[in-house]
Amino acid sequence: MNALAIEAEGLVKQYRGRSGTVDAVRGVDLNVSAGEVFGFLGPNGAGKSTTVRMLTTLLSITSGTARVAGIDVAADPDAVRRRIGVALQEAGLDHRQTGRELIVLQARLFGSSAAEASARAQELLELVELTEDADRRVKGYSGGMKRRLDLASALVHRPEVLFLDEPTTGLDPASRLSVWDEVRRINQRGTTVFLTTQYLEEADQLCDRLAIIDGGRIVRAGTPSSLKKELRERLRLPGDAPDPTLDEVFLDATGRTRERVAGDVQEVTA
Amino acid sequence: MTALQQADLLGRRAVRESLRTPEALAPTLFIPVFFLVVNFGQAGEIFPSDSTPFLYGQTYAAFQLPSSLLLAASFGSAALYLVEDIEGGYFDKLRAAPVSRGALVLGRLLAEGLKTAVLTVALIIIALPFGVTIASGPAGFVLLLVLTSLWGIVFTGFMQLIALKTRSAAATNSGGLVFFPLLFLTPNFVPRDLLTRPMEIAATLNPVTYVMEALRSLILQDLQWDVLGRGFGVVAAFGALMLFLNVRMVRRYD
């Protein structure tokens, strides 16, 4: 495997519409090492999902280059697809199939024989603890179960790089913790994880390094601790003051302000 | 894994999808049967079988059956399932896998072809009590199934184009209504040479006419290779065009 699992240079995405050109991503540079969990944070509309969609071959790249698992995304998208797993913001599932059918089909599309696909489905259903519900139609699954099934279906071919786009959005706390456990387990098996999230606690808990994107540009990048340290030094906080949180790093990076209103209620304003 | 094997897997999945939504199949059968019964009921007495040369001794229901077959083949429900896949994110899941773009398109189309063949058999069975027989024999019956199924694939391909372009169920549904003017600009009620001149010109320009005439020839007469050639020629040409446009649309899908 290449030492860098993801490399992007000057990645740009423009949409042309009736009202003119919209710059969704304005020149993103990224370097993600093999084996790490990389967090990609940003407010709504910052360009997180657009970047992920370009890296996963789902969107054309307006300009710039991207290599995933050492392969140029634009030049050989099919080779990239063989090496990545993708679980997008909306759990991409077919609600009329059962969980098992869905994973078997996915495995077969990646080239497994019927027997291999069946065995792999069982293995993955056990991994995400869905064996009891495997033969029920996905339509009846809870939000957390759908997320776990989506994760499992992204792993059928043992991808080198796993892209997770806001995998816990809309989940209750218990389901969120369960997805975190899965992500850790997957990463421990050697898979590089590229995780977009709006939850700063999630990034703090899971990510080795992270980048914050705002207005289509990377505005901060580093380990969670280095980013906190950098902010502490820049704000010249006294030695006995608590370390800045990742929330504060995020707010500082994106130019938002936080005002404490009526005790613990926090308001974020642009 | 070849593109055809992938198309087969995706086609099987689309068949399962249809079988698990029988309520969506009901109108595809009911409406064509309704048209057959109503048209036969209204005009059956005007065109008695023993004194109407273009019926070749059969009832007017036999003359009307191709319209119902084409109608049943032109619901294009696969395109609506595709919109569901797009809206729910499953289409992106498939696009992010190393699946041939041709297979992504062809899987659903093959399943639609199979579904159309089953509907065709059901409609022919329903038409039997109305005095309909397949005059071209077993070979003609098979050709009838194949031609109707191929038309189902062509029209579903057209609706899939709308689905891929608009990503909207409402727009896709509305696009399907295009078939109604096409159906009524054919020799739907009488042969082409009995139409008024403007209608005859419109029917001659309408590709559906040639498919309908081919189907009708299989029901009413022995194998008429020239008529069949035109019918199969139309579905081959439009089928190739739809496949090309669908694959191009998926490749450029952003």
**Res A257: pLDDT:** 62
The Cα A56–Cα A163 span in angstroms is 8
Within a domain: A86:
yes
**Res A268: pLDDT:** 39
Over residues B184-210, the pLDDT tens digits come to 999 999 999 999 999 999 999 999 999
User: DSSP 3-state assignment of A11?
Assistant: strand
Question: Which residue among A58, A95, A97 sits closest to B96, beta carbon to beta carbon?
Answer: A58
**Res B76: pLDDT:** 85
Within a domain: A83:
yes
Over residues A134-162, the pLDDT tens digits come to 999 999 999 889 988 998 999 999 999 99
The Cα B115–Cα B95 span in angstroms is 25
Q: Under 8 Å CB-to-CB from B176, ≥6 apart: which residues?
A: B74, B75, B76, B79, B159
> Considering only CA atoms, which of B122, B117, B125 is closest in space to residue B144?
B117
CATH number at residue A8: 3.40.50.300
Same domain, A216 and A231: no
Within a domain: A207:
yes
> Considering only CA atoms, which of A71, A81, A130, A135 is closest in space to residue A109?
A81
CA distances to A31, A86, A146, A177 from A92, rounded to whole Å, are: 27, 9, 9, 21
Same domain, A170 and A262: no
Say yes or no for a CB contact (<8 Å) between A97 and B13.
Answer: yes
**Res A258: pLDDT:** 55
Same domain, A214 and A232: no
Q: Outline where B44-136 has alpha helix (H).
A: 60-72, 77-88, 90-95, 101-127
CB contacts, 8 Å: A78 with chain B: 98
**Res A265: pLDDT:** 39
Provide the percentage of residues in chain A whose pLDDT is more than 70: 94
Contact B171, B162 (CB under 8 A): yes
Within a domain: A8:
yes
What the block records as the tokens of B122 is 């059901």
Beta bridge partners of A37: A193
Within a domain: A169:
yes
What the block records as the tokens of A218 is 């990377």
The Cα B254–Cα B244 span in angstroms is 18
Q: Is B50 exposed, middle or buried (0-12, 13-18, 19+ CB in 10 A)?
A: exposed
Over residues A112-129, the pLDDT tens digits come to 999 999 999 999 999 888
Provide the percentage of residues in chain B whose pLDDT is more than 70: 100
Instruction: Give the confidence band of A260 by pLDDT, cuts at 50, 70, 90.
Output: very low
What the block records as the tokens of B158 is 């057209």
Closest residue of B to A54, CA-based? Answer: B254
**Res A140: pLDDT:** 94
Q: Which residue has the higher pLDDT, B128 or A17?
A: B128
Contact B228, B217 (CB under 8 A): yes
Q: Residue A51's Cα: distance from chain center in Å? A: 10
Q: Under 8 Å CB-to-CB from A70, ≥6 apart: which residues?
A: A1, A2, A4
> Considering only CA atoms, which of A207, A99, A111 is closest in space to residue A149?
A99
Instruction: Give the confidence band of A238 by pLDDT, cuts at 50, 70, 90.
Output: confident
Same domain, A213 and A264: no
Same domain, A202 and A268: no
> What does the mean pLDDT of chain A come to?
89
The Cα A70–Cα A82 span in angstroms is 12
Tokens 């990239």, located at residue: A80
DSSP A3: S
**Res A91: pLDDT:** 76
Instruction: Note down the domain range covering A193.
Output: 4-97+159-222
Say yes or no for a CB contact (<8 Å) between B1 and A59.
Answer: no
Same domain, A214 and A267: no
DSSP B171-215: HHHHHHTTHHHHHHTSS-SS-GGGS-HHHHHHHHH-HHHHHHHHH
CB contacts, 8 Å: B92 with chain A: 58, 86, 88, 92
Average of per-residue pLDDT across B213-239: 97
**Res A39: pLDDT:** 96
Q: Please state the φ and ψ torsions of residue B72, each to the nearest 5 degrees.
A: -60, -35
The Cα A177–Cα A254 span in angstroms is 27
Question: Which residue among B17, B95, B99 sits closest to A96, beta carbon to beta carbon?
Answer: B17
**Could you say which of A204, A222, A240 is where a domain stops?**
A222
Beta bridge partners of A266: A260
User: Is residue A110 scored above 90 in pLDDT?
Assistant: yes
Over residues B52-80, the pLDDT tens digits come to 999 999 999 999 999 999 999 998 889 99
Span of A131-135, A149-153, A243-247 with lowest mean pLDDT: A243-247
Instruction: Give the confidence band of A79 by pLDDT, cuts at 50, 70, 90.
Output: very high
Same domain, A32 and A48: yes
Residue A255 exposure: Cα atoms within 13 Å on the Cβ side: 8
User: Is residue A205 scored above 70 in pLDDT?
Assistant: yes
A118 in contact with B at a CB cutoff of 8 Å?
A: no
Contact B204, B235 (CB under 8 A): no
User: Is residue B94 scored above 90 in pLDDT?
Assistant: yes
DSSP A168: T
**Res B177: pLDDT:** 87
Q: What's the number of domains chain A is made of?
A: 2
Instruction: Provide the residue ranges of all domains of chain B, joining segments of one domain with +.
Output: 3-251
CB contacts, 8 Å: A97 with chain B: 13, 16-17
Question: Which residue among A81, A92, A96 sits closest to B89, beta carbon to beta carbon?
Answer: A92
The Cα B187–Cα B210 span in angstroms is 10
The Cα A148–Cα A133 span in angstroms is 12
Q: Outline where chain A has alpha helix (H).
A: 48-55, 77-83, 99-109, 114-127, 143-154, 173-188, 200-206, 224-235, 246-254
Provide the percentage of residues in chain B whose pLDDT is more than 90: 91
Q: Are strands A192-197 and A37-41 parallel, antiparallel or unpaired?
A: parallel
Over residues B140-176, the pLDDT tens digits come to 999 999 999 999 999 999 999 999 999 999 999 998 8
Within a domain: A20:
yes
Over residues A162-182, the pLDDT tens digits come to 999 988 887 788 888 888 888
Within a domain: A179:
yes
DSSP B50: G
CB contacts, 8 Å: B16 with chain A: 96-97, 101
Q: Which residue has the higher pLDDT, A168 or B6?
A: B6
Same domain, A217 and A235: no
**Res A267: pLDDT:** 41
Instruction: Give the confidence band of A63 by pLDDT, cuts at 50, 70, 90.
Output: very high
Same domain, A172 and A208: yes
Q: Provide the terminal-to-terminal Cα distance of chain B, rounded to the nearest Å.
A: 25
Instruction: Give the confidence band of A29 by pLDDT, cuts at 50, 70, 90.
Output: very high
Same domain, A240 and A209: no
Average of per-residue pLDDT across A21-46: 93
Q: Which residue has the higher pLDDT, A92 or B233?
A: B233
The Cα A50–Cα A48 span in angstroms is 5
Contact A246, A204 (CB under 8 A): yes
Average of per-residue pLDDT across B117-128: 96
